[in-house]
């Protein structure tokens, strides 16, 4: 049995990443795609999708669709997630799930009276390299963890026509790529930050943050430093520094760009060990969510985790605007 998916938008990430991943998945299939213009019919034909709708509402009213994927602009994620939930559709939304923690709470409220499942799409977390990192930490090989550092950046070229440069749509680096290192810090350290301070460099015309750096303090005096940018060369990495050694993951968030191969590097006692793991992150994400629907089991990253991640992002904005340390959790 396969979960029947509908796609809300003809966004590039849907066409180039998510829809092909559903095609590769064993327990999922795309049956419909929607857009707000008639070009959706040509795209449906190109991607061999049986049904095309010229409105999101029409797709949500299709009784054959089990789950929807939402790759819309950031400021529309909440609205259409709630609309889909109210129509009884399971929802996998692109990150960030919302623009504020209050909006994430609205999604949770909608889920209370609905049996559907909801997940924010941090696809990178399904790559096996991260479980290996957690295993190494738990083994004590690098000693007590003292610091987590992570960067996710790229240089945005065509800024004049990019939605990433529109503040009212949730543009800028923190929402676009900064949410990943924050998520990774929480996932790898297995706890929540208790205080943070963030600074940003903003575009003078649009006001979006081009670069944001965040310094977070976790329990047990562990520090996490994260950086996001749409104004720097490509990086998608993290490292964990312990009392006895260091773990480095050079392709943490987009291993699909290097053939799906993730590398975990352990440096200890003047020796370096490399371990490699393969994983199709978008396919793994699709299959995980589809399996949870088919077997009615728990997803690995639920709405409460989404709320906690958004709470950190909210604190980043508060710190940026106030130029002060912010206490949270």
CA distance 15 to 154: 21
Q: What is the dihedral of CA 223, 229, 233, 236, to 10 degrees?
A: 50
1 beta partners: none
Q: How many residues does the chain have?
A: 329
* Annotated catalytic residue, options 78, 87, 95, 164: 95
DSSP line for 53-103:
ESSHHHHHT-TT--EEEE-S-GGGHHHHHHHHHHTT-EEEEESSS-SSHHH
HEC readout, 18-61: HHHHHHHCCCEEEEEEECCCCCHHHHHHHCCCCEEECCHHHHHC
Of 167, 166, 196, nearest to 309 by C-alpha is: 196
Give, in degrees to the nearest 5, the angle at Cα 235 between 74 and 220: 85
Residues contacting residue 270 through CB under 8 Å, at least 6 positions apart: none
Give the burial class of 190: count Cβ atoms within 10 A of its Cβ; 0-12 exposed, 13-18 middle, 19 or more buried: exposed
Residues contacting residue 40 through CB under 8 Å, at least 6 positions apart: 10, 33, 34, 52, 53, 54
Largest CA distance in the chain: 62
Residue 117 falls in the annotated catalytic set = no
Pairing label, strands 3-8, 245-249 = unpaired
Residues marked active site are found at: 95
């Amino acid at each position: 049995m396969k979960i029947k998916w509908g796609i809300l938008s003809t966004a590039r990430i849907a066409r180039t990443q998510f829809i092909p991943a559903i095609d590769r998945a064993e327990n999922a299939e795309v049956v419909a795609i929607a857009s707000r213009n008639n070009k959706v019919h040509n795209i449906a034909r190109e991607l061999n999708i049986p049904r095309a709708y010229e409105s999101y509402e029409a797709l949500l009213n299709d009784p054959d669709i089990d789950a929807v994927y939402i790759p819309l602009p950031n400021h529309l994620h909440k609205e259409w997630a709630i609309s889909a939930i109210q129509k009884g559709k399971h929802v996998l939304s692109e990150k960030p799930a919302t623009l504020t923690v209050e909006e994430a709470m609205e999604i949770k409220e909608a889920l209370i009276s609905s049996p559907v499942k909801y997940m924010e799409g941090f696809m990178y977390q399904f790559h096996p390299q991260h479980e290996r990192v957690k295993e190494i930490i738990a083994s004590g090989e690098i000693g007590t963890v003292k610091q987590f550092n992570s960067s996710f950046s790229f240089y945005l070229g065509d800024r004049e026509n990019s939605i990433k440069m529109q503040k009212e749509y949730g543009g800028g680096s923190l929402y676009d790529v900064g949410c990943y290192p924050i998520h990774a810090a929480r996932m790898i350290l297995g706890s929540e930050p208790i205080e943070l301070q963030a600074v940003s460099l903003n575009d003078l015309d649009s006001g979006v943050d081009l670069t944001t750096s965040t310094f977070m303090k976790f329990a047990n005096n562990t520090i996490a430093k994260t950086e996001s940018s749409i104004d720097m060369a490509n990086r998608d990495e993290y490292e964990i520094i312990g009392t006895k050694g260091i773990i480095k993951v050079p392709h943490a968030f987009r291993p699909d760009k290097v053939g799906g191969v993730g590398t975990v590097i352990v440096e200890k006692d003047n020796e370096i060990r490399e371990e490699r793991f393969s994983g199709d992150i978008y396919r793994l994400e699709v299959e995980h969510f589809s399996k949870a629907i088919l077997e009615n089991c728990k997803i690995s990253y639920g709405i409460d985790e989404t709320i906690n991640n958004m709470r950190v992002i909210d604190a980043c904005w508060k710190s940026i605007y106030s130029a002060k340390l912010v206490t949270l959790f």
